[in-house]
Structure 1
């Protein structure tokens, strides 16, 4: 099992270029199935979740060619409606294949999805929406069977602005008969990127980035070239890496507009941040300030995917901080591991109370999910002594060459296989 060995205490300095967004690349790759053509996607991150999506596409008959950060998908040979259970269990985002395959051929068989164990993430919203569009859905033996002769547009009111459900509806409705309107839609930048891809391929979608999205169904889509947006969570993680080490790091190829909530909280913590549209410099403080309150919320609120990294930073702050996790109920698994490193953190339900300490000490810790694992690495960068982070396959799901990029900024970190 792979692990990181980190010698803490090194100040990070330098420049880093941010790659494509995992949470944008995955739905766009799923969308390529609908085109029945050849699509080329640029700025694809080299991460485990993308590897799994590539295997899924190949398993249903698509031809995939990948060179560096460019992936070409030929979905014309598409031939299989059943998605392999082992791949679905490895990655939750595989659920968005439901909408794409219903749009392509009107049938899909898929098991319940896996991914990080960060609390219940029911797919009821997805199934309810697909049924509203006219899909017949049966659940048996751990599998979901969906079919529809012709999906029909309708108005869908989401009970919660779920990113995955919004994407699934967009994918399913793009070839439905008539108009579909999603109300209380997710507003994340990745939704806008999916709209841009689909519209370039011939779809008629309006309103992504707002709470109401309109999809006018079309007969067919065509192949397209598209560049994935930068990963705002990877950018935020490197911002915290600079902050927690008192470093000075420049991030290139970013969308600053996507980072506003993260920038605001890091400034509260005492960081100096300078930016233009696509570049940002962050200078970390000698010791972070405590932040009175962080509350995770759907975009444009503070992202749940940055909660763990901020808790690592605030564990070293001068004072007491409070973090409230409103999105997932089981997303404090990293806290016990940080406590092993000397952090003083108490959790009560969905609230974490962090009393800052002057220093963390290196320890053997275990990554239990993607973002929590990244947070442990950040803590190790600032800790006194040696930190060993195990189970880093979680981190590989969402960060390309994480240890190499950190080492390029001056971190003392090795990946041991």
Structure 2
């Protein structure tokens, strides 16, 4: 068990260079299995989930190397098409091997995916997409995908704009016979990044960044070198840290259009920031105050499919709100268990009411107190780390290896901007 020890109240300031997008890197590893040629992925975050996905690719027969944030994957000959249960249980994105394996080998066997416990994550969109393109699926103890012949393009409509279902369908459709039109597709930056990788490999995908994607099937894909885009959730997490601690930060490696909604939410919390061509500047010394809705009503911050506020940013934004004057409601629409971490903030002294599994009301500012905590999931773990940094006294966060699944070199990055955080592999 990994643990973090945090001395709260340390002033922070400086620059942070964000890592490659975790949620783009993971499906790109699966997509590399769509070609026999080498795929070289630069700016890959060195995190536990990336190493786990690379291990699965290697287990399936790919030649894999990973050094200095560059992954090299050559899938000339795959040895099998079953992802063992032990690996599936470690990460949600294990399901993304289904389409590449089915396309390359005619079938795939996977088991229910694991990952963060933040609520039910439907797989219906994955099954709908592969079956609609001509595959068959048997679901019992395992998920058995089969395709007796080449998949066929057609028009599809997702009943929810699922990120991973969109990615699965993209990987299934790029080598299908004919044209696939996918409506109500997810359009998050990491989905677009995956589509751009596939296009660089020779796919023909249009409509990138929109909710309608058109995929013209091709005969084969080829190897490429590609650079993963920056992680907007990591950037947003550091912005929340600066907002909660009152520090001045410059976040480098950003793309302005990825932060338009995030900026609106921080403005609602009374935090001003500047979007630059390749950086975000958060001025220090701000006195945040929650901006009421017209008529003096309590504002509501809700998540939603892109370009709405990302669900992955809700936990960190809640912590920032505890340090802002006024009252705000957070409405987590997408996952029914993400809000539960607020109970841990209450134990630190937060003025918060958990209304139900989807809503919490936060009133600030409050002086949080250091305590012993545990990390329930990646984003809540990062949020508790931020809370500990702006709290008085010392905190310990156990099960912190969960945070390392999503944030590269997080302890070192925080130390470089002045945070007093240390890590102990055996716990404190």
TM-score by length of 2: 0.95
Residues 124-139 of structure 1 mapped to structure 2, 5 A cutoff: 124-139=124-139
Runs of 4+ displaced beyond 6 Å: none
Paired residues of 1:271 and 1:284 also in contact (CA < 8 A):
no
Residues 29-44 of structure 1 mapped to structure 2, 5 A cutoff: 29-44=29-44
Backbone CA RMSD of aligned residues: 1.1
Number of the residue aligned with 1:330: 337
C-alpha separation between the residues in 2 aligned to 1:287 and 1:322? 20
| Higher mean displacement: 178-187 or 259-268 | 259-268
Asked whether 1:299 is paired with 2:299, we answer no
C-alpha separation between the residues in 2 aligned to 1:210 and 1:293? 26
C-alpha separation between the residues in 2 aligned to 1:377 and 1:127? 37
C-alpha separation between the residues in 2 aligned to 1:102 and 1:285? 54
Number of the residue aligned with 2:268: 268
Number of the residue aligned with 2:294: none
C-alpha separation between the residues in 2 aligned to 1:345 and 1:139? 42
C-alpha separation between the residues in 1 aligned to 2:331 and 2:163? 20
Unaligned runs of 5+ in 2: 292-298
TM-score by length of 1: 0.98
Number of the residue aligned with 2:144: 145
Number of the residue aligned with 1:238: 238
Residues 78-227 of structure 1 mapped to structure 2, 5 A cutoff: 78-141=78-141, 143-148=142-147, 149-227=149-227
C-alpha separation between the residues in 2 aligned to 1:133 and 1:147? 11
> How many pairs align?
416
Task: State the Cα distance separating 1:38 from its structure 2 match.
Answer: 0.4
Paired residues of 2:82 and 2:108 also in contact (CA < 8 A):
yes
Paired residues of 1:139 and 1:145 also in contact (CA < 8 A):
yes
C-alpha separation between the residues in 1 aligned to 2:189 and 2:202? 20
Which secondary structure does the structure 1 equivalent of 2:88 belong to?
A: helix
Paired residues of 1:270 and 1:288 also in contact (CA < 8 A):
yes
Number of the residue aligned with 1:366: 374
Which secondary structure does the structure 2 equivalent of 1:387 belong to?
A: strand
Number of the residue aligned with 1:281: 281
Task: State the Cα distance separating 1:287 from its structure 2 match.
Answer: 4.0
Paired residues of 2:248 and 2:285 also in contact (CA < 8 A):
no
Number of the residue aligned with 1:9: 9
Task: State the Cα distance separating 1:284 from its structure 2 match.
Answer: 4.3
Number of the residue aligned with 1:412: 420
Task: State the Cα distance separating 1:286 from its structure 2 match.
Answer: 4.6
C-alpha separation between the residues in 2 aligned to 1:371 and 1:385? 23
Task: State the Cα distance separating 1:345 from its structure 2 match.
Answer: 1.3
Unaligned runs of 5+ in 1: none
